[in-house]
Amino acid sequence: MDTTQLLKGVLDLAVLAVLKEEDGYGYDILRRLREAGLEEVGDASVYGTLRRLFAAGLLTTYVVPSESGPHRKYYSLNAAGRDQLTRSGKTWRSFATTMDTLLDDRGMAA
Amino acid sequence: MTVTGQEITDYVGRVRAALADLPPTVRDELTEDLPEHLAEVAAEADGTLVDRLGEPEAYAAELRAAAGAEAGAGPGRRGRRLAAAQARAATQLRALDTQLGPLLGQSSVSEFLRPLRPAWWLLRGWLAALVIAVVLQEPSGLLPRLDGSVLAGLFLLAGTVLASVWLGRRAPGLRGWPRRLLRLGTAAFLIFSFAMLVNVDQHASSDQFGSYQEVAVDRRYDRIEDVFVYDQEGRLVRNAQLFDQNGVPIRLGWPSCLDASGTVPAPRNAYPYCPDRAPFGPPAPAVPTLNAPPAPGASVAPAPGASVAPAPSGSATPAPTVSPSAVPGESTPTPVPTR
């Protein structure tokens, strides 16, 4: 099954989860997602998701000047974002459990 | 850092161009941070932006999907509906593509068409040469002519074919407005060449006299205006009906005189149309060879034979031979020419 298809549905949740532990800028967030195992995620997807979450009022941003390179725009969760993360996380866990059970019942190995 | 500011600017420009169909506010919202973001990306690793992120158009598509820009924040209802209709049409087209593929022995129609692309380039070149010749008002058939010269036309043909092939090999690299322009041009070009081909085809299929329709099957009868039948006694038969061996009425001539009501009668199978113009008058009264005296004057009541349908009598014999005495110059007394 194509992971990119699955990613579309859960990228919001993944980005919110990554930002919960620590604020980050675009490329940083992408790198952390990949390190977490979502290797097929694309830069444009992450950037677009950040823009959308920001427009939806779930993120706040601040700019950190850098001496060596370009300025970096950091994203961080606000209250609404944390709230959204909690709800989406629950939905995902419930969904994942349902899928696991479905597959277990039919003897599919993990 | 191997990526220059100019490269970032170009990349952002192409991404924005690919998002041109979005409302300006949405597009600005999506891309306002893009230069900074790309600068971050560029700072992290080596290689050009295209190497790292793919073509800007693909990047824009991914960005659009991730940001949910289609369903999103601002495109007008009509724009959304248009986009939805476009997407539906594209889906159906793709389905049709794969459904019809097996008919052609391929997995899809486009699979079948792809190897034919060079053939299309050649065809396009040939059409272009024809179009140029026609636009220059040269009388062309299926070969273009210039100044009426086929040789010059062939040079033109070679040129357009080469240009078309060159364009065909370059076209996949085109993006943005040149690509759109090419597609639009191709569509217009196809319509124009179709119209022109129909024109050329008409020229080719019609020889010069083809457009005249034969009225009379046999030209020998073209001169005939009216038919006069005389019976054995040399009397004019009125309202004679002529038939061929199949019982089909024989139509000859046309009414050229006015009838009693002052109008030209409609053509009908009853001859003569104009009895007054009979070439021979009534026979002379006392003729020894006749066994019955003819009725006097032109007001001859229709001879018995006139109203008889000739079918049973085998009217295949031509009418004029019925009365050999009607032949002028022979058997002196009988018919007297009136004019």
Least confident of A86-95, B102-111, B211-220: B211-220
Q: Edge-to-edge strand order for the sheet containing A24-25?
A: A24-25, A72-77, A59-64
Q: Which residue of B has its CA nearest to A26?
A: B37
Minimal CA–CA distance to A81: which of A58, A100, A63?
A: A58
Backbone phi, then psi, for B243, in 5-degree steps?
-135, 155
Task: Give the DSSP H or E segment for B229.
Answer: strand B229-230
Q: Is the pLDDT of residue A89 over 90?
A: yes
* A110 is a domain residue: no
Contacts of A68 by beta carbon, 8 Å cutoff, 6+ apart: none
CATH number where A35 lies: 1.10.10.10
Instruction: Specify the 3-state DSSP secondary structure of B287.
Output: coil
Neighbouring C-beta atoms of residue B101, cutoff 10 Å = 16
Look up the domain containing A90 and give its range.
3-105
Contacts of A35 by beta carbon, 8 Å cutoff, 6+ apart: none
Question: Could you tell me the residue ranges of all domains in chain B?
Answer: 5-103, 115-205, 221-339
CA torsion, ordered B112, B114, B115, B117, to nearest 10 deg: 130
Give chain B positions within 8 Å (CB) of A43.
41, 52-53, 59
In this structure, are residues B298 and B229 in contact, taking their beta carbons and an 8 Å threshold? no
Task: Give the DSSP H or E segment for B182.
Answer: helix B176-205
The verdict on A43 touching B (C-beta cutoff 8 Å) is yes
* A9 is a domain residue: yes
Q: Can you tell me the ipTM of this complex?
A: 0.81
| CA–CA gap between residue B182 and residue A107 (Å, rounded) | 55
* A60 is a domain residue: yes
| CA–CA gap between residue A73 and residue A19 (Å, rounded) | 13
Q: Which segments within chain A are labelled E, that is strand?
A: 24-25, 59-64, 72-77
**Mean pLDDT of all residues in chain B?**
74
Q: Give the pLDDT score at A79.
A: 92
Predicted model pTM: 0.40
* A80 is a domain residue: yes
With the C-alpha atoms ordered B314, B316, B319, B323, is the resulting torsion angle positive or negative?
Answer: negative
Give chain B positions within 8 Å (CB) of A25.
40
- Most B-contacting residue of A43, A50, A53, A74 (CB-CB within 10 A), to test interface: A43
The verdict on A84 touching B (C-beta cutoff 8 Å) is no
- How do residues B44-95 score in pLDDT, each as one tens digit? 777 788 888 888 888 888 888 887 765 444 445 666 677 777 777 887 888 8
With the C-alpha atoms ordered B13, B17, B22, B25, is the resulting torsion angle positive or negative?
Answer: positive
